[in-house]
Amino acid sequence: MRGDIKAKDKYQLQNRLRRIEGQVRGLQRMVEEEAYCVDILTQISSIVSASEKVALILLKDHVEHCVREAIEDGEQANEKVAELSVAVERFLRV
């Protein structure tokens, strides 16, 4: 099933992903130039935080759009709630 990301979220996600892409390129340069390990770890932490923010935006969008719609329609409500539960578990690494 195709997800329909809200336009404002899509724009925000694309911008955040471009920034993450730039951070990863910077991280690659740091490793290549043998930067100080703590500085590399700090950059990795920043990338992880930025990625988690992207995931939260997607999760919120999914709940507000896909899950709500399924519950309102009554069709696939149980399936969408189960899917959401799995997605949250995956995100939280439980």
Per-residue pLDDT tens digits for 25-65: 999 999 999 999 999 999 999 999 999 999 999 999 888 88
Do 54 and 91 contact (CB within 8 A), yes or no? no
DSSP 35-67: --HHHHHHHHHHHHHHHHHHHHHHHHHHIIIII
Round to whole Å and give the CA distance between 67 and 47: 28
| pLDDT of 84 above 60 | yes
What is the arithmetic mean of pLDDT over 73-93?
88
What is the arithmetic mean of pLDDT over 8-34?
95
| Both structure tokens of 17 | 């992903």
Question: Which is higher by pLDDT, 10 or 36?
Answer: 36
